[in-house]
Amino acid sequence: MLDAERFLKEHEPFQLLPPQEIKRIVHHLLVRFYPEGEIIFGPGSGPLTHLHIVRKGTVILTEGEKLIDFLHEGDCFGFISLMTGDRPSFTARAYEDALLFLLPDRIFHQLRHTYPQWDSYFTRKILKRFDTKYRQESSWDKLLEVKVKDLGIRPVPILEPNTSLKEAVREMLLSGQRCALTKIQDEWGILTERDVMKAVEEETDIRTPVEKLATVPIIGVEEDTPLLEALTVMTKHGLSKLVVFKEGIPTGVIEERDILYHQVENSPLVFKEIERAESPEELHFIFLRITERVINMATEGVDPEKVGLYISQLNDRIMRRSFLLTLRRIGEEPPSAFSLVVLGSEGRQEQTLKTDQDNALLYRVEAVLHTDISQYYALLGEEYIKTLIKVGFPPCQGDVMISHPDWRGSYQEWEKRIRQMASRPEPQNALRFSVLLDMRHVMGDAELTASLRDLIFRVAKDNYPLLRSMAQESLRFKPPITFFKNLVVESTGEHRGELDIKKGGIFPVVQGVRVLSLLHDVREQNTYSRIRQLEDRGALSRELATDLLEAYRFMNSLRLRSQALKLREGKRADNYINPSSLSKWERNHLKDAFRIVEKFQEILEGRFP
């Protein structure tokens, strides 16, 4: 049992004990193996008779469906039952094959009486466990503290009851809201986007007054109502919108997505969990919870621009923590300044539920004794990608990852690559240059990233062959719509009846906006922000910029919703959508979006013939 003695000496609380005591403990240890998925104990067990210590593998503690803790080598559990004499309130299960040491309760209690530091250690652990549980459960209390008015009520148009459907739609579009209110006799009514879509489906006369289409009476709450109570009302009546009143007068509406986004914006607990994660397995569990939250956001219609920003904020933290865990596993700090960057949709902060890896690494070459810098970063790249895969990020099919030598290198190597791409702008180089334009710093020396991005803009300036080659990439795929405005879908194969909305709609916008950003020195990475900047600089007319933003947002919203629904059905998320699953209004809106993409491509073709 020499291994056991050495192991205990390296972990708390055994480090608090004298060496001779650890030798005695070892003679009383039992060894048990639990295969992956096996229950170690649960609420149905009697009071425990041993302290459990993880020697190898991972154990999870759950209470119902709620995760209590992830336990790894050196972690102890079961001590609450030992100290209280009660049966355990949670279930312990082997998350992967686990080897445990079991210390008899008799020895455990002897140590408590003999060594105050041992007893204090477990007392603190219990207090911390209860504090964590309290903080998790108090999230509902916070919803009671928040009032509806704190959410940012959406003001909506208030219409006369004889307002025509056509005029009502116009007012809703001008206000940017998805509903309008009207007072019919002494009752307030609401006309929603769904009512409008139903009217379109039924080919209702556009002169029909809203009083014949609105829902009366409406269900609402006063603006001082606690958010939890408002959420209860919405759930009880199956509402996606709730009208807010102030002393009986409507001031606007709140939507399910407003409440959801409020909780997303006010959930620092997730960030703290990421920072405290001690293994890729813990990060994987957090990753799954984040994915479920994003699925909810997508199905509730949260703005895809906000969804992308939210995903990137969390992914950045997960990637930084994964990097630190990788460094810890390697056991050696980086020998020089470095910068870890993300590319593609992650770089643009436009991630969806079809997540893979797109990253790169650059570093300085410095004279360091006994260290092969390139070899070190090659090892780091391989190990980091393995960590990300364990966390839940699938590998990039195009190998755009720091485990591949093409996507890591010294600053001098990157400088040489970028100049070569710019001087030889064949399609592959133009596409690689485009991907690098989206690079965004995640960890390390931000100055390295900023300097390399500055170089990208310098070598692209007045480089017409490069810009033209990049523009040709945005023209390579045409929107899937015919001259007669019919949507074109796949006729055979896995995606029969579907269309690739990324290839035919989203990518041409992303790539075209990249080209114009280089041409006009727009340094933003996000496509939405780039379009706004291009409008401000006069590179896009106000009308075209507005149309592009609306089309891009709508296409991303459809893709995100489709991915969410596929994941809920147990399918793989992809970039295909099924037009037959859309409403008539959505299909028409999609056709309009594709026509805007066509117009944008015509403009690009005119600028780069």
Where are the CATH 1.20.120 domain residues in the chain? 471-607
d(CA 562, CA 259): 22
d(CA 362, CA 568): 38
Query: For residue 260, what pLDDT is reported?
Result: 60
Beta-sheet pairing, 408-410 with 359-363 = parallel
- Fold designation for 151-257: CBS-domain (3.10.580)
CA count, 13 A, side-chain hemisphere, 451: 14
Residues 178, 155: contact at Cβ < 8 Å?
A: no
- Helices and strands in the chain, H and E counts: 24, 20
| Tokens standing for residue 343 | 């590319």
d(CA 572, CA 448): 37
pTM: 0.65
CATH of span 2-138 = 2.60.120.10
pLDDT along the chain (609 residues), means of 10: 77 87 91 92 89 90 75 87 82 89 92 82 67 44 68 87 92 86 91 86 90 90 83 71 89 78 58 81 84 81 84 90 93 90 94 86 76 89 94 90 95 96 93 94 92 95 93 94 88 93 96 96 94 94 94 95 88 92 91 95 92
Query: For residue 310, what pLDDT is reported?
Result: 82
Query: For residue 296, what pLDDT is reported?
Result: 78
Residues 168, 210: contact at Cβ < 8 Å?
A: yes
CATH of span 267-460 = 3.30.460.10
d(CA 75, CA 81): 16
CB-based contacts of 281, cutoff 8 Å, min separation 6? 58, 70, 72, 95, 96, 390
Q: Given 1.20.120, 2.60.40, 1.10.10, 3.20.20, which CATH number is that of 471-607?
A: 1.20.120
Query: For residue 83, what pLDDT is reported?
Result: 81
Query: For residue 369, what pLDDT is reported?
Result: 52
d(CA 479, CA 203): 27
Among 516, 447, 517, 487, which Cα is nearest to 586's? Answer: 487
- The amino acid present at 22, given as its one-letter code, is I
Query: For residue 397, what pLDDT is reported?
Result: 86
Beta-sheet pairing, 576-577 with 499-500 = antiparallel
Where are the CATH 2.60.120.10 domain residues in the chain? 2-138
| Tokens standing for residue 113 | 């009486």
d(CA 239, CA 245): 16
d(CA 546, CA 566): 30
Neighbours of 65 (CB within 10 A): 5
d(CA 250, CA 217): 13
Query: For residue 137, what pLDDT is reported?
Result: 43
CA count, 13 A, side-chain hemisphere, 110: 12
Among 510, 490, 513, which Cα is nearest to 500's? Answer: 490
Beta bridge partners of 104: 50
Query: For residue 65, what pLDDT is reported?
Result: 65
Query: For residue 391, what pLDDT is reported?
Result: 92
Where are the CATH 3.30.460.10 domain residues in the chain? 267-460
Where are the CATH 3.10.580.10 domain residues in the chain? 151-257
